[in-house]
Structure 1
Amino acid sequence: AEKGGYKTYVMEVKGSRVYSKLKYESGVHRVQRVPQTETQGRVHTSTATVAIMPE
């Protein structure tokens, strides 16, 4: 990551039926935003790959 972002982020979620609630979130997610430093209002796009794995 260039400025304050994450290149890799790993987390563990525990609880009742967590896998069944999150299993369909696997895949590539796209985030679009207009940074405060963008003077021409252009949209910047980032992607994140999400993997949901049962214990």
Structure 2
Amino acid sequence: MKISEALIKKTASLGDILKLPLNSERLQKLTENYVVSNKKIREAIGKQLPIYLEKDC
């Protein structure tokens, strides 16, 4: 069953008013895109990351 995006957003807005567990802030956190650059990770760690290649046979 597919729930409309508008309904979810309206429910989250209602959660802001009624102090429900699903509110706009939590909805934003649940739907954020977490893309991390490998270059930034290498710079933070300070060394080269190991690379593993596996071939399925």
Tell whether the structures are fold-level matches, with TM greater than 0.5.
no
Give the structure-1-normalised TM-score.
Answer: 0.22
Flag the structure with higher strand content: 1
> Between Structure 1 and Structure 2, whose CA radius of gyration is higher?
2
Give the structure-2-normalised TM-score.
Answer: 0.21
Tell me which of the two structures has the higher relative contact order, counting C-alpha pairs closer than 8 angstroms and 6 or more residues apart: 1
